[in-house]
Amino acid sequence: MENRDAILTIPDENGSLPPKAPNLSIGQWFRKNLFSTWVNGILTVLGTAAALLMLRGVLNFVFSENRQWDAVRTNARALMTLTYPESQYVRVWVAFGSVVVLAGLSAGIWADWGRLPARRLAGWFMGAAGFLAVCILVREPSVLMDLEGKTIRLPDGSLVRESFASAMTDRANWWAVVALLLIVGGVIWRSDSDKKQLKITQVTYLGIGLGVLSLWVAPYGHYAFTDGTYIADPNSTVAFSTKMPWTVMWIMLAIGFFAGRWLRTSSYLVLAKAGSNLLWLISPVTLYFVILRDPALDYSHVFSTDLPMGLAFGILGACFLWFLTRSDIGEIGRILATAMLGIAIFNWVAAFFGWYPMLQKARISFLLLAVAALLAPNFVGEAAKRRQLLLGWLGTMALVHYLATMINTPSTVELQSTEFLGGLGLTLFVAVFVVLLSFPLGVLLALGRTSKFPIFRILSTSYIEVIRGVPLISVLIFFSVMVPLFLPDGMELAELGAVLTGYTLFSAAYLAENVRGGLQSVTKGQYEAADAIGLTSAQRTGFIVLPQALRVSIPQLVGQVIATFKETSLLAIIGLFDFLRVANSVIPAQSEFMGVKREGILLVAVIYFFFNFVISKYSQRLERRVGLGER
C-alpha cells in the first residue's frame, strides 16, 4: 500500500509533494469533526444519547435475568449439525480440519495478507477498552434474588435492583478486562514508532490462539444432554471433547500456512496455486458426500460397473477429443461436436420418457463430452495445447465418476431424521453449493443475453425475466413439491437435491444480470483490438472481455453472495432443519427450555452478521487489490 500511495501522490506545479496532514490530538479531532459548529455539537450530543439508549436496551436484553442462555450453550452441537450421531462426530471435525488446513495453505501460497500499523492495533485495544467501559456503565444494575432464586419485588410489583456501586463492584472482572486492554494498548502505543507494522497473518493467528486458550482457562460452563440427562455446570470449562479439537484446528492452521509459504518459494508454485483452487472447488462436494456421509461402497459393483465405465468414457473420450483437435479437421470437427451434443440431449429426453435404461452418470458424461467437443477448436494446433484438453478431460471424468459413485452409495451414518446434517452445517453447505453452481450458469446466461445470435438472446432473456419475476420461496416449493410429480417411474429427487436445483436456477438469474452490467462496461475498442490480433470469439471472451467484466462486477457479485447466504433461512419453510429452524423450533420444543426462542434467534442473527461482514470486508480488500475505482 505504501508503494501505491507513492505512485498515486501527484506533485504540484513546482515539483514538490503536497504537505502531509498534521496528526491531531484527541481534543483537536473532536473539535474539528464533531463540534466544529453549534449545530454539529447539538447533533453530536443527540446522536450520542440515542446510541447510548440503544446500547443500554441491547445490554439489558442480553444480560437480563429472564434470558436462558443455557438453552444455547446446551444445544451448541444441535445448532451446528443437528442430529449428526455423536459416535461418528469425528467426521465433522475431520471435515472442518480439512477446510482449516486448506485455508492456511491458501493464505501461505497466494500472497502476504498485508501489514497492520502498530499504532492502529493499539488504537483498537484502547477503543475496545473504552467501549467495554461504556457498556459496564450504561447497563442497569442486576435484579436482587431471594434464597430460593426468585426475583424480589416491591408491593407495587416493581423489581428490586442492587445499587449502582454494588453493580460496579460485582462487575470487577469486567473492569479488570478493561484495564488489561488499556495496558496492552498503551504498551504497544509507547514502545513502537509510527512506522512499525505487524503482519496481519501473525495478528490473526495470535487472536485465534487467545480464543482457543480461553477454552482451557475461562469458566464458560459445561452444558449437555448425556444419556437423556441434562447436565449444567456453570463454573467449569467447556468439555474436553470441544476444547481439544479446537486446539488441534489451531495447530493445523499453522501447519497449512507454513506449508503454503514453503510452496510459495519452491518451483511448484504454479502447480500449488492451481491445486489449491481445485481443492476449494471440489471440497464442498467431497466433504459432504464422502467424509460426512461415509458411503458403504459395494466393491464388487465398483470393479464390475463403475470403474470400467469411468475408464471407457475417459479413454474413448480422450481419443475423440484428440481427433477433434487435429489441425486439418476443419468443419468435420464442428459437425461431430454438434452431433455429440444431439446425442447427449437425446439421452436426457429418452430418460424422461423412459425409452431405454441408462445410468445417470453416463448421461452426465455424454453431456460433458459434448461440451468438451464444442471447446475443442480452441485447442487445435500444438501438441501441448491438445494435451491440456486431454488431461482436463481425464481429470474431469475421474472426479465426476468418483463423486457419482459416492453420492449414489448408501450412507453408514445412523440417521435420526431424513437429512443426516442440519443446523449451520446445512446452511453453509447450501450457500456454498448454490454459489459454486450458479456462478458459471449466470455467466453463460449473461453471455447469452448479450449474444448477437437471436435464439441465445431470446432464450436467456426469457429465462432471466421469468425467474426474476417469481419469489424464491415459490421456486423452492415448486422444486420440492411439484417437480417430483413429473418425474418418470424409478427416478426420485431428494429434498436437498430439489432445494439446490431450484435455488441455483434462481440465483443464476440474478448473477446473470450482475455480470451483464460488467459486460456492457467493456468498451467497443476492446472487442476491435481482440479481433485485430486474430483471437477467436471464445478467446476474446475468455481472455479479454470476461476478466474486465468480472472485475467491474465485484461489488454486485459479492452482494449477491451475501443475499444467497441470508436467504438460506427460507429452507425452514419447506421442511429442512437449517440454522434458523433449529433455534426457532427445535430448542423451544425441549422440555428443559420450553418456549425459549429469543436467545437462539439472537445468536443466529449474530452469526449471520459475522459471516456477511467477513465477506464484505474481503470484497473491499479484493477491490483494492484489483484497483477497482482507481483505474
pLDDT in tens, 493-510: 778 888 898 999 999 999
Answer for the pair 553, 514: CB distance below 8 angstroms, yes or no.
Answer: yes
List the Cα angle 345/347/350 in 5-degree steps: 110
**Under 8 Å between Cβ of 500 and 539:** no
pLDDT at 455: 85
CB atoms within 10 A of CB 582: 25
Q: Is 630 exposed, middle or buried (0-12, 13-18, 19+ CB in 10 A)?
A: exposed
Provide the 10 A C-beta neighbour count for residue 118. Answer: 18
Instruction: Give helix 269-286 / helix 240-264 axis angle, nearest 10°.
Output: 150
Instruction: Report, as an integer, the average pLDDT of 49-76.
Output: 89
Tell me how far CA of residue 296 lies from CA of 291, 301, 406, 408, in angstroms: 11, 12, 9, 10
Alpha-carbon distance of 237 to 242, in angstroms, equals 10
Beta strand ranges found along 26-153 (DSSP E): 115-117
Q: Residue 309 above 50 pLDDT? A: yes
Greatest C-alpha distance within the chain: 99
CA 46 to chain centroid: 38
b/e sequence 73-95, b meaning 16+ C-beta within 10 Å: bbbebbbbbbbbeeeeeebbbeb
Q: How remote is the C-alpha of 93 from its chain's centroid?
A: 18
Return the minimum-mean-pLDDT range out of 123-137, 150-164, 445-459: 150-164
Judge contact between 344 and 367, C-beta under 8 A. yes
Residue type, 385: K
Taking the C-alpha atoms of residue 625 and residue 291, their distance in angstroms, rounded to an integer, is 35
**Lowest mean per-residue pLDDT among 174-178, 189-193, 526-530:** 189-193
Q: Which tens digits make up the pLDDT trace of 263-272? A: 988 888 888 8
CB 365, CB 403: distance < 8 Å: no
Phi-psi region of 365 (alpha: psi -120 to 50; beta: other; left: phi over 0): alpha
User: Per-residue pLDDT tens for 235-251?
Assistant: 888 888 889 999 999 99
User: How large a percentage of the chain has pLDDT more than 70?
Assistant: 92
Cell of 265: 518459494
Where exactly does CATH 1.10.3720.10 map onto the chain? 65-83+415-631
Q: Which three cell numbers stand for residue 384?
A: 501441448
What pLDDT score does 631 carry? Answer: 56
pLDDT band at 312 (very low <50, low <70, confident <90, very high): very high
pTM of the model: 0.84
Q: 134 falls in which pLDDT band (50, 70, 90)? A: very high
Query: 394 near 314, Cβ under 8 Å?
Result: yes
Cell output for 169: 463492584
> In the predicted model, is pLDDT for residue 146 greater than 80?
no
C-alpha to C-alpha distances, 175 to 137, 140, 186, 480, nearest whole angstrom: 10, 16, 16, 53
Task: Give the integer Cα–Cα distance in Å for 303 and 603.
Answer: 48
Supply the mean pLDDT for the chain.
85
> What grid cell was written down for 525?
475498442
Indicate whether 120 pLDDT > 70.
yes
Chain center to CA of 258: 23
Written as nine digits, the cell of 368 is: 460433458
CATH 2.40.70.10 holds for 65-83+415-631: no
Q: Which candidate, 439, 438, 419, 415, places its Cα nearest to that of 427?
A: 419
The label of the residue with cell 500449488 reads 272
Asked whether 423 and 81 are in contact (CB, 8 A), the reply is yes
pLDDT tens for 316-341 read: 999 999 998 888 887 888 888 889 98
What pLDDT score was predicted for residue 11? Answer: 45
3-state secondary structure of 152: coil
Four-CA torsion 480, 482, 488, 494, nearest 10 degrees = 10
**What angle, rounded to 10 degrees, do the helices at 454-468 and 423-449 form?**
140
Q: What pLDDT does 2 receive? A: 40
Which DSSP state fits 329? -
Given a cut of 60, whether residue 16 has pLDDT beyond it is no
Query: Whose CA is closest to 614, among 256, 103, 55?
Result: 103
Q: Which residue has the higher pLDDT, 20 or 24?
A: 24
Q: What is the rounded (10 degree) CA torsion for 505, 506, 510, 512?
A: 10
